[in-house]
Amino acid sequence: MKLILALTALAVAAGCVGLSADIPHLQNVEGVAQLVVDGRPMLLRAGELDNSSGEPEVMAKSWKDFAEMNLNAVVTPVYWEVIEPSEGAFDWSSVDGVIDAAREYNMRVVFLWFGSWKNSMSCYAPGWVKADTKRFPRAMVPGPRPIEMLSAFSGECLKADETAFTALMRHIKEYDADKSTVVMVQVENEVGMVETERDRSPEADAAFAGPVPQALIDSLKARRDSLAPKLRARWLENGEKTSGTWEEVFGKGSATEEIFMAWYFALYAGKVAAAGKAEYALPMYTNAALIRPGAEPGQYPSAGPLPHLYDVWRAAAPALDFLSPDIYFTNFTDWADAYRIPGNAHFIPETLRSPVASVNALYAFGQCGSMGFSPYGINFISGQARELLGQSYDLVRQLEPLILSRTPKGDVAACVPLGPEQRAPRRIDLGGIRMLVTFQTVIPPSLADGVVVSGEARNAGATIPAGCIVIRLSDEEILVGGMGVTVLFSAPGGRAPAVGLKSVEEGRFDGAGNWIHHAFLNGDQTNQGRQVMLPAGRFSLQKVSLYRY
């Protein structure tokens, strides 16, 4: 699963950039995965297109908007039904049109392969696949009855998907390898079983009654002490067996049926990825629809690349370089943290396009070491959400060289509020500096408006996002970027000497990485020299010089 990361780690250790300066690839720097394009690491300030907006004619009206929001990449579908309308006859106009437009706007592309499955269903399979249910059988649910989902146990389904995806990757290589416009590919989309825990077709029943594949057993043994807790507990509680049927190894119940289904989904997606990589070895991943609170297998898209099934997917699909979450729940940090798995490159391919995406982007890049961040339906973003995301991406663009160079050294962190009831400050420790961060999620009136800023005034009105990214430049200098935060500095544990603010200045970095001074901040802007304060409602960047007293 992590072959590219392992190889590039060796290359970096030997003083090389990675696999090839000509092909986009992943490299590992001090345990942090980075995407390398044209020989240089980069962060993807991306947005994902709405599902039905990925054709060139539909996208044409949006490229200027993307550039104005400071995007440097788009995440957009490739539809199986569009590129192979009849078996063996391919039409690449939609693919080439997206690549050409991206080049015109100096952007990169992450293609989403809408092949056998999109959000569990097979709605983007060509008509010639859908209509031939004998050759291309469907998954079955109790009844039994078929559902609109190609069977993961069908060799014909797999062969047809492999053939189309291989042709796609061959074409991308021929059309784009010299430009590297396309930098990554997602294989399938939100794979998962719905309505029931597992496929109930005769082929699936036979596989479930058969032995657990040796490759999975070997992976369980090799990773025994680092397995996801739920998977490890289920295996150990059932005797840590190294052979037997699925129920003999993992016990009876829906959790075992989900593990079984995860293996076969991953095996299928991994074979598709491997076939495509044989033509053009771009980084490849697949994404997960997450679990609603309290839902059980069968009540959500089960058996997808979820954290508790990570080890199953890793063992079954080594051609996939990493697994990613589509985060649409309000507990963004919980799910983003759940994919900070050793060896798993971090990338957020889909998330809410609400105003809070602007600060969640800082958390992804600053706290999770993400290679990229991508709100969904970016072509429909508007209002405050659009304005704030553009500001956030501008800040990330300024800080990108520092984020990339300082993250492997442990000098980058970020935080956002954990919930509306949070009262205690968030704590960040970088080196010998402790920062206590509180959040301001409303814009209060000022004294000049004739209003005393009471606690009630601070808590009145509509809320706005708040959050920050922090970069340690040295023991005496810190960058703080974001909005709506107050930062108090001290030594860890309150030890002496105290840490004071020598100077605080607002500014920005130009395209060459030079600091452009805007204003020195003191008095009210630093609470009389006691705190760093990033105003609510707009993104800003402050350089903080510290001293001890």
Every domain of the chain and the residues it spans = 3-410, 414-548
Q: How is residue 64 written in tokens?
A: 């200027």
Q: Which residue has the tokens 């300066």?
A: 21
**C-alpha to C-alpha distance for 487 and 472, rounded to whole angstroms:** 14
Classify 165 as helix, strand or coil. Answer: helix
pTM (two decimals): 0.93
CA-wise closest residue to 335 among 360, 313, 311: 360
What confidence tier does 445 reach under pLDDT thresholds 50, 70, 90?
low
Name the strand (E) or helix (H) holding 517.
strand 515-520
Tokens of 29: 């720097």
Average pLDDT of the segment spanning 359-381: 98
162 token code pair: 């492999």
- Report the pLDDT value the prediction gives residue 492, as an integer from 0 to 100: 84
Paired tokens of 34: 């980075």
Instruction: Dump pLDDT digits (tens) for 471-529.
Output: 999 999 999 999 999 999 998 877 778 999 999 999 999 999 999 999 999 889 999 98
Instruction: For domain 414-548, give the CATH number.
Output: 2.60.220.20
96 — pLDDT class (breaks 50, 70, 90): very high
Q: How confident is the model at residue 443 (pLDDT cuts 50, 70, 90)?
A: confident
Q: What is the DSSP letter of 89?
A: B
Give me the residue label for tokens 């706005």.
464
**Rounded CA gap, 545 and 269, in Å?**
51
Q: Could you tell me whether strands 182-189 and 284-289 are parallel, antiparallel, or unpaired per DSSP bridges? A: parallel
Residue owning tokens 């396309």: 182
Q: Which two tokens stand for residue 137?
A: 């059988």
Is-contact 183 109, C-beta < 8 A? yes
Bridge partners of residue 459, in order along the sequence: none
Residue for token digits 């991206």?
Answer: 102
How confident is the model over 107-118, as a mean pLDDT? 98
Contacts of 521 (CB under 8 A, 6+ apart): 504, 505, 506, 542
Give a three-class secondary structure readout of 232-293: HHHHHHCCCCCCCEHHHHHCCCHHHHHHHHHHHHHHHHHHHHHHHHCCCCCCEEEEEECCCC
Give the pLDDT band of residue 426 (cuts 50, 70, 90). very high
Neighbours of 139 (CB within 10 A): 28
Question: How does pLDDT run across 75-95, given as a tens digit for each residue?
Answer: 999 999 999 999 999 999 999
Q: Using CA atoms, how far apart are residues 280 and 111, in angstroms rounded to an integer?
A: 13
Query: Does the structure show a pLDDT above 70 at 5?
Result: no
Does 13 have pLDDT greater than 60? no
User: How remote is the C-alpha of 217 from its chain's centroid?
Assistant: 29
CA gyration radius for the chain?
A: 25
Q: What angle do CA 149, 220, 282 make, to 5 degrees?
A: 55
Tokens for 28, please give them: 């590992």
- 3-410 folds as TIM Barrel (3.20.20)
pLDDT at residue 448 is higher than 80: no
Q: Is 304 helix (H, G, I), strand (E, B) or coil?
A: coil
Alpha carbon distance 51, 114 (integer Å): 9
Residue 517 burial class via C-beta count within 10 angstroms: exposed 0-12, middle 13-18, buried 19 and up: exposed
Compare 457 and 376 and report the one with higher pLDDT. Answer: 376
CA distances from 82 to 91, 93, 94, 247 (A): 7, 9, 8, 41
Rounded to an integer, the average pLDDT of 179-206 is 97
Distance CA 387, CA 7 (A): 40
Degrees, nearest 5: CA angle 127-133-139:
105
Mean pLDDT, all residues of the chain: 92
Give the pLDDT band of residue 16 (cuts 50, 70, 90): very low
Check residue 523 and report its DSSP letter: G
How do 467-474 and 433-439 pair as beta strands?
unpaired
Residue 188, pLDDT above cutoff 80: yes
Q: Residue with structure tokens 């005496």?
A: 476
- For residues 546 and 501, the answer to whether their CB atoms sit within 8 Å is yes
Task: Please name the residues in contact with 366: beta carbons below 8 A apart, sequence gap of 6 or more.
Answer: 403, 412, 413, 414, 469, 470, 471
| Identity at 79, one-letter amino acid code | Y
| Residue 521 near residue 505 (C-beta atoms within 8 A) | yes
CA angle (435, 436, 437) in 5-degree steps: 110
Q: Is the pLDDT of residue 132 over 80?
A: yes
Residue 538 per-residue DSSP state: S
Report d(CA 355, CA 152) in Å as an integer. Answer: 38
Q: How far apart are CA 94 and CA 96, in angstroms?
A: 6
Within 13 Å and on the Cβ side, how many CA atoms surround 423? 1
